[in-house]
Amino acid sequence: MEFLDWAEATPDQRSAVAALLVHGFDLGPATGWPTLGEAETELARFDEPDRRGFLGLAEGAVAGFVGAIRISASLWELHPLVVRPAERGRGFGRALVARLEEAAWEAGAGTLYLGTDDDRGDTNLHGLDLYPDIPSAIDRIEALRPHPLTFYQHLGYTVIGVIPDASGPGKPDILMAKRLDVESETE
What is the binding site for ligand COA (CB under 6 A)?
24-27, 81-83, 88-94, 116, 146-148, 150-151, 154
Name which of 52 and 147 has its Cβ closer to ligand COA. Answer: 147
Name which of 80 and 180 has its Cβ closer to ligand COA. Answer: 80
**Cα-based distances in Å from 103 to 25, 138, 178:** 24, 29, 14
CB 161, min distance to ligand COA, A: 15
CB 108, min distance to ligand COA, A: 24
CB 86, min distance to ligand COA, A: 10
CA angle 46, 48, 51 (to 5 degrees): 55
> What's the CA gap between 74 and 115, in Å, rounded?
18
Name which of 148 and 172 has its Cβ closer to ligand COA. Answer: 148
In this structure, are residues 82 and 25 in contact, taking their beta carbons and an 8 Å threshold?
Answer: yes
> What's the CA gap between 180 and 78, in Å, rounded?
13
CB 112, min distance to ligand COA, A: 12
